[in-house]
């Protein structure tokens, strides 16, 4: 099912990136808002430290956001990675562009985000492994709150399916 992630983690900061690298993954596509920082916030010390660690491991990174360029660039000014704004997730085009920028492919790229209908669905439709992470902040815009209500039932179905306890890494 394209709405089921390949793995779930509490946070983007709790993913075992060293293990992913050992398994041959070389590219990471990240959502920004509520995946790495609160909606609209610049990169904080924790995000900067994570990106420095990932680059030192050898990962290529691309931020993929449906936001305007000014918002994505503001975050990227502190982490210095590839980025794509107005990505129209869950459309595949942004994911394909991200892999082209990182010079990776769907076999060695993962996507990490906090929303099922954009981050998980888009990456799954592109053939990229997905990690659904918990949201950073409790406060969200109303349209996202409404999606979270439906996402709750998808996550319940995911857990009932028995996939929740298994990881691809």
39: Cβ contacts below 8 Å, ≥ 6 apart: 33, 137, 139, 140, 141
Q: What CA–CA distance (Å, rounded) separates 75 from 41?
A: 7
Q: Read out DSSP for 96-135?
A: HHHHHHHT--TTSEEEEES-IIIIIHHHHHHT-EEEEE--
Domains and CATH numbers, the chain: 7-160 (3.40.50.1000)
Q: What is the pTM of this model?
A: 0.90
From first to last of its 169 residues, the chain has per-residue pLDDT tens of 689 999 999 999 999 999 999 999 999 999 999 999 999 999 999 999 999 999 999 999 999 999 999 999 999 999 999 999 999 999 999 999 999 999 999 999 999 999 999 999 999 999 999 999 998 876 666 666 677 777 887 888 878 787 776 678 8
Q: What CA–CA distance (Å, rounded) separates 14 from 36?
A: 11
């Amino acid at each position: 099912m394209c709405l089921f992630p390949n793995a779930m983690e509490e946070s983007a900061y709790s993913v075992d990136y060293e293990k992913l690298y050992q398994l041959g993954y070389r590219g990471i596509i990240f959502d920004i808002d509520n995946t790495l920082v609160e909606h609209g916030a610049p990169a904080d010390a924790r995000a900067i430290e994570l990106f420095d660690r990932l680059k030192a491991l050898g990962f290529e990174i691309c931020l993929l956001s449906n936001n305007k360029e000014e918002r994505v660039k503001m975050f990227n000014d502190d982490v210095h990675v590839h980025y794509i704004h107005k990505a129209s997730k869950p459309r595949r085009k942004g994911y394909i562009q991200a892999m082209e920028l990182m010079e990776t492919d769907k076999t060695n790229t993962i996507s990490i985000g906090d929303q099922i209908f954009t981050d998980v669905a888009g990456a799954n439709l592109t053939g990229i492994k997905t990690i659904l992470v918990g949201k950073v902040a409790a406060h969200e815009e109303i349209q996202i709150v409404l999606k979270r209500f439906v996402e709750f039932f998808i996550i319940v179905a995911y857990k009932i399916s028995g996939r929740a306890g298994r990881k691809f890494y």
